[in-house]
Structure formats: structure tokens, C-alpha cells
Amino acid sequence: MTETALRSSGAYADAVAAAVQAAAAYYTDGVTPLGDDEYDALVRAIAAYEDAHPDEVLPDSPTGKVAGGAVVGDVPHSVPMLSLDNVFSAEELADWAAGLERRLGRAPAGWCVEPKLDGLAVAARYRGGKLERVLTRGDGLAGEDISHAAEAVLGLPAVLTEPVDVELRGEVLLTTAQFEEANRIRLAHEAPPFVHPRSGAAGTLRAKDRPYRIELTFFAYDAVGLDEESAHSARLERLAALGANTAASTAAAPLRCGSVEEVQQRVEEIAALRSRLPFGIDGVVIKADDAGDRRAAGSGSRAPRWAVARKLAAEHKVTRLLGVEWAVGRTGIIAPRAVLEPVVIDGVTVTYATLHNPADITRRGLMLGDQVFVYRAGDVIPRVEAPLVEQRTGEERPIVFPEVCPRCGDAIDASEQRWRCVRSRNCQAVASIVYAAGRDQLDIEGLGATRAVQLVESGLVNDIADLFTLTRDQLMTLERMGETSTVNLLAAIETARTRPLNRALCALGIRGTGRSMSRRIAAHFGSMAAIRAADAEALAGVDGMGPEKARVMVGELVELAPLLDRLAALGVGTAVTEPTAPRPVEAAEAAGADGAAPADVAAAAGTGPLSGEAVVVTGSMTGPLAALSRNEMNELIERAGGKASSSVSKRTTLLVAGEKAGSKRAKAEELAIRILTPDEFAALVAEHLPAA
């Protein structure tokens, strides 16, 4: 809805009612029928109508009220807990700053710019440094007591580092990781998933007597009764010293700026970081930093005049689920994809989104025609989070699951959450062969998608093993296969026959066995026969495997038994695995008489320069590492005693960051992980670098 839509008192009254309803949902359980952008536009339209018709203002109007006037608490705040006014563009921010300068009669002494966290505002009261009570903002004058939830809120200490009387004010939210874990827990308890992180935080803070625990995170952004005459930026440092979590620990840390131009630049920087942050933000907050400036500017009934929120485009939007498409992947997995009524999210038009698997659709209770929340952050694939059940009209229809494989028409194995065609890889023979021939697997030059289609459609190849039985005469029958092409392809296939065990294992495309894991498995067992003989417990002993992946792998090895028998008979995958971390028994045998282990067994012996390190590589490598593929980098890490990983987590201990490192570097900085340049890393592992 826009301002021009409110041309009558009736339209205005309807808009007020809709805004109050949306605000009530937003500030209680977070499940609102309007996205942030739609709600903001609605309130602006209401304000514009009221400016033009001041005698028609309704008492329920959300304008000028904290939390849109939608919620009321029963515990009075010591000092009113106000909202913030909003601006929606650089021009509006400049106008607001100019207005504050006019009010003060001069430019503010400085500005503090910090992320606007997308959670619930709370007040945490401490007496003698001990937490006594936690309240929601409510209507700004009084809030709800949610002290029962404090134990599960990380970053909100039970005891401060000093015995002070103070009231911390901040935001409680679910980080991205906490949101995913919360929905995993809820689904395990047969509870509906949270619609999005904000609704999850709202519902969790108010919930009592749940049979499970969900963790949240607190970020302090102000305090009552603490260093009242200090600059706001200095007060934030004081809060961190007291033991409270603040945004200073993030890539979007609060920054003091000296001019409006610097403020605008910092706003752009935080907006650019948005997709890389491990939590949601819906804007950037700009505050006059000096205590005297804040006191001189004062506050209105709803918001302070010395602070404003520069709102960003919403990353959650409401749209309609129009249909579900079913695709078959390389390993026969049948995956659903949501077809959406096009919606613009963070500047990108979204038409499709992931639905994970049929069980997930059932748990979420999705129906065709539902209004659904869709989430997109940066380059993350859009996903449907949950339906707005309250918005149903009765015309919604159940989602029909396929009864046969949508690609080949054969039966479906629905025994697990992820459904598969019973033909497994044979359903997508072309995709399986292209994958197996890839550079990091068997590396068969000349065998791309077009050639693979020819081989399969001609009946010459049905699986990987068939590649090693091809003859010159067979290949010469194919279109555009001359003498030279045939000779080159047969030579590449013959070379592939001698690829090491880890590459042959990776070429099978077993779930959970990518390049790094295949190297670990091959090094751990030493032969395909040993791998096939291993049970789930033995496989789970491989670093990073775990019992669930091991169980899946055992099942797939049984399924692949005929193919593996043929490959073994053809001499594929019998070569020694590439140098990496060998089995402990091999490391011991390889050690010399003096007990010193050679460089290639450093990882197993625990003596390499990366021993105990979990390493992630990101960005473009330079110097001695420039010629290495990502796969070769991972092999280098493992030769030097480390563990290679593709994603940054709390378990990561070292990040090698090249040019354009992007979000992984930002996350590593968030987690205070050691970061090395390519040249620094090359110097660290110099003795393990491949020969030039």
C-alpha cells in the first residue's frame, strides 16, 4: 500500500486496523501478515494522511507510538524504552542529520554508527552486578517479565565483571546457526518450525515449560545508570568490559564518525556486510555520540531526536506458493523446488526456492496457494520457511508428491527423508559419468557433457565401469569422433585407470564423500577392499565422518557392489592413494630407525606445521600457491598435518585468505580465527609444497 492509496477516511481506517494487527503479531510472536517493507510503507501512508487530515487521526493509529501501540507490559520501565524514527534512503538520512544540526545550532561533535539488529528489544536489570530481571520493551513505559528465559540467552551474563547497579538495554535474537538448530529441535519434537529468526526469538522468550531448550543471543546497545556523561561509543566499550556481548565483536562493529559523509560511508559498508553476518539486521542505527548533544536534542514521546534508523530492504518477504517442481539429481535424489509468485528480495527477483525434501514439506504443513515467508540473504539460495496459516482462504490445495520417479518413471525409494529413484545413479547416468570424469575425480580429458550424452544414448556406456571397456571401433561409430579424438579419449581413459584410490572413490559420487573426505577414507583404509569390508562403526572412525554419514556410506557401498566388482576386475582404483595423512600404522612403519617421521607422514605422526589445525582456504591464491587448484591446496594442508574444510565454523583454527576473500574472511574475523595471507601460509608449509 502507498500514500496515494489512502484517499478516504474509510481507507485510512482500514490501514490503521491493518497496521495495528501487523504490529501486534510482529511484537508478540513475530508472525506478521506483512513484510517489513510493506509495514513501513503502510505506516508512512498513514502518517501522510494524518498530516493532511489532522482532525481525523484515530486513537489506535500506530504513528507516534512505541511498538506501533500494539503491546502493553505490566512491569514499569525505570526510564522509558523508546523506538527509533526511520529513514529509507541516503537523502532522507542527510535531511535528518541536517535537521538535528539546526536543532543543536551546530554540527554534532560526532556520530556513532552501528548495526540495527533484527530481534526483540529487552532491558536487563542488575543489582550489585547480579542479574535480577529481564523485561521486553512493551509499549515503552512497561514491559513483560521474561526473566525465566535469561538462562538460555548467550551474551547476557548472570554476573557482571563489576558489582554495579545498572540496566543493560539491547536486542535478543536467534543467530543464523541458532535459528537452524532451533528448527531442527522443534521438528524433532513434532512442533512446527519457526517462520523466521525474529518470530523464533519472540516465541522463545515468551515460552514456558517447553520440553526442550533453545539458545538465543543478546547484544547490548545501551545502558541506564552507567557513565551517563560519556560518549555513546565509550559506553559501548564499557558494556563489553562488564561482560555483556556487543556488536563490537562483529564485522559490523560500532564506529565513531566525524561527519555525515563518513556516516554515509559506514552505512554502505555495513549494508555490504549484511549477507556475511551470522545474524539478521534490518538497518543501521546512527546516534549523536556526545552526551551533551543527546541531552540538548532531547526525545519525543516515541523516539529520541538524536538517533535514527536507516532501514535496509527486507530479506524476508511474503509471497504465494504457486507450485512444486520435482527434480532428480546425479545420485537419484528426488528434490522438490517451490515455484513462487515473483517477489523482489534485497534487490533480486525470486521465483524459485528450495523445499529440502518431502518430509520437510509435510512437517511445515505447506499447501499450494499458501502465503509463505521466503528468505534470502546475499548469495544464499532462497528458501521457503513457513506458511502463514492465519491467511488461508480455504482455496489452498495439498501438495501432491510424485508416485514414480519424475525422470524415468521407475519406482521411488521413500524409506528415508530424501527420496531416491530406485535406479539410483543409473537414472542420471550422464550426470554420474560427467561427474566421475571431472578434474578432481578421474580427470578424463575430452569426456564432457556432450560426449557423455553420446556414449549413453548410443548404449555404449551405462555406468563408470563401461568407460574402461570402450574400444576404438566403438568410438569411431560416434558422430564427430575421428581418429585423433578417439586415440586421445582412449589414452585419457587408460590414464584414469591408474588414478589413486581416493580419486576413484570420489568418482563414485557417494553421499558425504567429496574430495577431502575421500582422501581421508582412502588414507585410513588403504584399499577399496578394506573400505568395502568396513562397517559403519569402522567408517565413523574416519576424521569428520560421523555415524550418520558412515551409515549412509555403508548402504551405498552395498548398492554399488556390482559396479565395484567390475571396476576392481578392470584394475580401476587399485593404485596407492595420493600422499596425504596415512594410517597411523603406516606412519609408524615409515618412521626411520631414529623415530623421525618423513614429511609425507607428518599429519599422521602429529608433527607437521599444521598439526591440530582445521584450515579453510578462500579467495584467489598468489605466490607459490597460485598454481595450485583448491583440491591440491586441500592435499597440501593434509600433508602438513592439518584438516582441510570448506566452511568457516567455531572449529576452524586457521583461514588462508587470498584476494577477494569475501564472507569467509568476515566470518573468521567474527570468530577471532587466525588469518594468514597466501605468502605467509606458503612459508609455514614450505617443506610440504609440491616440487616446482
For 405-468, give the DSSP string: -TTT---EE-SSSS-EETTGGGGGHHHHHHHHTSTTTT--TT--HHHHHHHHHTTS-SSHHHHT
Question: Does 578 reside within a domain?
Answer: no
CA distance 118 to 282: 6
In this structure, what are the phi and psi dihedrals at residue 278, rounded to the nearest 5 degrees? -80, 20
CA 247, distance to chain mean position in Å, is: 19
Angle between helices 260-273 and 90-104 (to 10 degrees): 140
- CATH number, domain of 446, equals 1.10.150.20
CB atoms within 10 A of CB 327: 11
Question: Does 403 reside within a domain?
Answer: no
CB atoms within 10 A of CB 646: 13
Identify whether residues 52 and 85 lie together within a single domain. Answer: no
**Residue 626: partners with Cβ closer than 8 Å, 6 or more residues away:** 620, 678
Identify whether residues 155 and 244 lie together within a single domain. Answer: yes
Count Cα neighbours of 43 within 13 Å in the Cβ-side half-sphere: 25
**Active-site amino acid positions:** 116
- CATH number, domain of 11, equals 1.10.287
Nearest to 118 by CA among 302, 307, 314, 269: 314
Identify whether residues 53 and 31 lie together within a single domain. Answer: yes
SS (H, E, C) 205-216: HHCCCCCCCCCE
**Total length of the chain:** 692
pLDDT, averaged per 10 consecutive residues of the chain (692 residues), comes to 62 80 62 63 81 82 62 79 90 95 94 94 95 90 91 95 96 91 87 79 87 94 91 94 93 94 94 85 94 94 92 82 90 90 78 86 90 70 81 93 91 88 84 89 91 91 93 92 93 94 91 83 91 92 84 89 93 66 36 34 57 89 86 84 83 89 82 91 89 64
Cell 594468514, residue located: 676
CA distance 528 to 503: 11
DSSP 30: S
Handedness of CA 393, 394, 396, 399 (dihedral sign): positive
Q: What is the pLDDT of residue 14?
A: 78
Q: Are 61 and 46 in contact (CB under 8 A)?
A: yes
Identify whether residues 492 and 354 lie together within a single domain. Answer: no
**DSSP 3-state of 67:** helix
Long-range (24+ apart) CB contacts under 8 A made by 591-599 are 599/639, 599/687, 599/688
Cell of 264: 554515509
How do 316-328 and 371-375 pair as beta strands?
antiparallel
H/E stretch holding 135? strand 130-136
CA distance 400 to 323: 10
CA distance 399 to 372: 14
CA 96, distance to chain mean position in Å, is: 34
In this structure, what are the phi and psi dihedrals at residue 108, rounded to the nearest 5 degrees? -55, 155
Nearest to 399 by CA among 340, 341, 323: 323
pTM: 0.53
- CATH number, domain of 389, equals 2.40.50.140
Domain count, the chain: 6
- CATH number, domain of 631, equals 3.40.50.10190
Question: Does 276 reside within a domain?
Answer: yes
How far CA 413 is from CA of 328, 409, 546, 560, 561, in Å, comes to 13, 12, 24, 16, 18
Identify whether residues 13 and 124 lie together within a single domain. Answer: no
**DSSP 3-state of 371:** strand
How far CA 27 is from CA of 23, 68, 122, 199, 599, in Å, comes to 6, 9, 12, 9, 60
How do 614-618 and 654-657 pair as beta strands?
parallel
Question: Does 300 reside within a domain?
Answer: yes
Q: What is the pLDDT of residue 575?
A: 64
Identify whether residues 530 and 469 lie together within a single domain. Answer: no
- CATH number, domain of 119, equals 3.30.470.30
Identify whether residues 118 and 211 lie together within a single domain. Answer: yes
Question: Does 405 reside within a domain?
Answer: no
Identify whether residues 526 and 659 lie together within a single domain. Answer: no
Question: Does 346 reside within a domain?
Answer: yes
Angle between helices 9-28 and 197-206 (to 10 degrees): 70
Alpha helices in 608-662 (DSSP H): 630-639
Cell 568396513, residue located: 534
Q: What type of residue is 662?
A: G
Our CA angle for 68, 70, 72, nearest 5°, is: 120
Choose the final residue of a domain: 311, 334, 359.
311
Across the strands, what pairs with 186?
Answer: none
Identify whether residues 481 and 366 lie together within a single domain. Answer: no
In terms of residue numbers, what domain contains 170? 75-311
Q: What is the pLDDT of residue 70?
A: 53
Cell of 571: 584394475
Identify whether residues 226 and 352 lie together within a single domain. Answer: no
CA distance 583 to 577: 11
Q: Are 77 and 168 in contact (CB under 8 A)?
A: no
Output b/e per residue, 525-558; b: 16+ Cβ within 10 A.
Answer: bbebeebbebebebbbebeebeeebbbbbbebbe
Question: Does 475 reside within a domain?
Answer: yes
CA distance 258 to 109: 7
**Residue 441: partners with Cβ closer than 8 Å, 6 or more residues away:** 435, 499, 503, 506, 507
**Residue 620: partners with Cβ closer than 8 Å, 6 or more residues away:** 626, 658, 659, 660
How do 255-257 and 307-311 pair as beta strands?
unpaired
**Residue 6: partners with Cβ closer than 8 Å, 6 or more residues away:** 12, 15, 45, 46, 48, 49
How far CA 553 is from CA of 501, 509, 535, 539, in Å, comes to 16, 10, 9, 8
Identify whether residues 486 and 559 lie together within a single domain. Answer: no
DSSP 234: H
Question: Does 558 reside within a domain?
Answer: yes
Choose the final residue of a domain: 290, 311, 332.
311
Choose the final residue of a domain: 39, 69, 99.
69
Largest Cα–Cα separation, the chain: 97
DSSP 97: H
Identify whether residues 165 and 181 lie together within a single domain. Answer: yes
- Strands (DSSP E) contained in 244-382 are 255-257, 281-288, 307-311, 316-328, 334-345, 348-354, 367-368, 371-375
Q: What is the pLDDT of residue 158?
A: 94
Cell of 330: 546425479
